[in-house]
Structure 1
Amino acid sequence: MSDTLTRINLLLVDDHQMVIEGIKTLLKTDPVVRVVAQANSGDEALRRLREHPEVQLAIVDLNMPQMSGVELTKHIRAGYPTIRVVALSMFHDHASVMEVLEAGGSGYLLKNTTKTELSQAIRDVAGGKTHFSKEVGDTLLQNLDVPAQRGPAPEQPVELTAREREILQLVAAEKSNHDIAETLFISERTVETHRKNILTKTSCKSMVGLIQYAMKHKLID
């Protein structure tokens, strides 16, 4: 999805209405982004999604009572797999960031984010990429669990073929094997083979570990 598209339709979720109003004010003059729904709780957010099938992206506060932002992210990704989620928080500890990634989140912003970064993050995530505030990215890299994720760290990233890099980029964008196969005009079996080869080459044990590795070595945008 590019900036040339007419709209990116948002759902804003935060238990503090002032935060929602602040985000709406930041985005008010953005010609691409449109807030079509808002909610002050996880349960309300799920109701809004049923009422607004046009939603493409949800910006979700992590620290909400009753249903946390991580729980809501899991519900959204399970029930509405085409909707992408950006987490919003005052904190960027490693555990919180990892919870968001494992729940299926595609971005993580701090509540002190600027209008420019907010707009760019929305475009990136709606376009199939990931977006993390600089502090969040630094937290991921500083806490990279080398022994658990990929064994001894080489000085240089492993060599991936052009096709493997293409597939890694699409995996990072949370594309399924079917979607990747259609995009690259190859079979799903070939995609699965490439994925296994990438994991083997990088010594990663999981997709989360692979994304961390790819970020560390700048293998994805």
Structure 2
Amino acid sequence: MIRILVVDDHVVVRSGLMALLDGKNGIKVVGDAADGDEAIRKAVELQPNVVLMDFSMPPGKDGLTATTELKKKLPDTEVLILTMHDDEEYLFRAIQAGASGYILKSAPHEELLAAIQSVAEGSAYLYPNATKRLMSEYLDKIKQEGIAGPYESLSEREKEILSWIAKGYANKEIAEHLVISVKTVESHKSNLMEKLNLKTRPELVKFALKKGLLHYE
């Protein structure tokens, strides 16, 4: 039995969802709420497996804030965001808040039932277009990182210090030239060595040589 709490600020929508869901696919509607604060109170009281949470509920507490607070109190309760926003910004915010799923209000009833079943079983659920969008962005990111490589992840200051170190200058000499403290130089050196996965100065010199950074004046 999937115990579900329905949260939406519109009475008609809540009533419709409760009528649609109760008794279907092993779902039992244990309660409803009109805003985020009520949702948290009801969830603590009723201990549902899944909370079907509306995204926007003016003037009450919104669904994302409620989700964050609810997951702190009931980490084992899954939250499925139900929204009209087909927008990646809202999607990412929902995931960051701790939601296990994100589905549009325009989705067919069968898709909503499947989404509830999925999050209740501990899986994540995103509507099809969102999944395609996330996969596309992930692949683009991997492609860009593959092209850029670790050197491009360095800040301009780190690249500058890398060049000076590779040319044999001591930390104190670099600090004096760049008008920064020796401690700052050491910090940048540590960061850039970690980003480049280098352990020794000879490795750093070899890397700098390959990158064409050893042009002496």
Whether TM-score is above 0.5 comes out as yes
Specify which structure has the bigger relative contact order, considering alpha-carbon pairs within 8 angstroms and separated by 6 or more residues. Answer: 1
What is the CA RMSD across the aligned residues, in angstroms?
2.1
**1:67-78 pair list within 5 angstroms:** 67-78=61-72
**What is the rounded CA distance, in whole Å, between the counterparts of 2:143 and 2:54 in structure 1?**
28
- Runs (4+) of structure 1 moved beyond 6 Å? none
**1:82-161 pair list within 5 angstroms:** 82-144=76-138, 146-147=140-141, 151-152=145-146
Q: State the shift of 1:113 in Å.
A: 1.6
Query: Quick check: which has more Rg, 1 or 2?
Result: 2
User: 1:21 and 2:15 equivalent?
Assistant: yes
Q: State the shift of 1:21 in Å.
A: 1.4
Contact 2:6–2:33 (8 Å) recurs in 1? yes
Q: State the shift of 1:152 in Å.
A: 2.7
Give the share of equivalent positions with the same residue, in percent. Answer: 30
User: 1:62 and 2:55 equivalent?
Assistant: yes
**What is the rounded CA distance, in whole Å, between the counterparts of 2:46 and 2:135 in structure 1?**
37
For residues 40 and 149 of structure 1, do their structure 2 counterparts lie closer, same or farther at Cα, with a shift above 3 Å needed? farther
Q: State the shift of 1:135 in Å.
A: 2.4
**What is the rounded CA distance, in whole Å, between the counterparts of 2:141 and 2:129 in structure 1?**
23
Question: Greater helix share, 1 or 2?
Answer: 2
Structure 1 unaligned regions, length at least 5: 1-6, 154-221
Q: What letter corresponds to residue 67 of structure 1 in structure 2?
A: K
**1:170-189 pair list within 5 angstroms:** none
Contact 1:146–1:152 (8 Å) recurs in 2? no
Q: What letter corresponds to residue 56 of structure 1 in structure 2?
A: N
Deviations 1:70-105 (A, max 9, x none): 111101111100001000111121110000111111
**What is the rounded CA distance, in whole Å, between the counterparts of 2:43 and 2:107 in structure 1?**
25
Deviations 1:161-219 (A, max 9, x none): xxxxxxxxxxxxxxxxxxxxxxxxxxxxxxxxxxxxxxxxxxxxxxxxxxxxxxxxxxx
Contact 1:8–1:33 (8 Å) recurs in 2? yes
Give the aligned length: 146
Contact 2:49–2:77 (8 Å) recurs in 1? yes
Contact 2:7–2:34 (8 Å) recurs in 1? yes
Contact 1:56–1:83 (8 Å) recurs in 2? yes
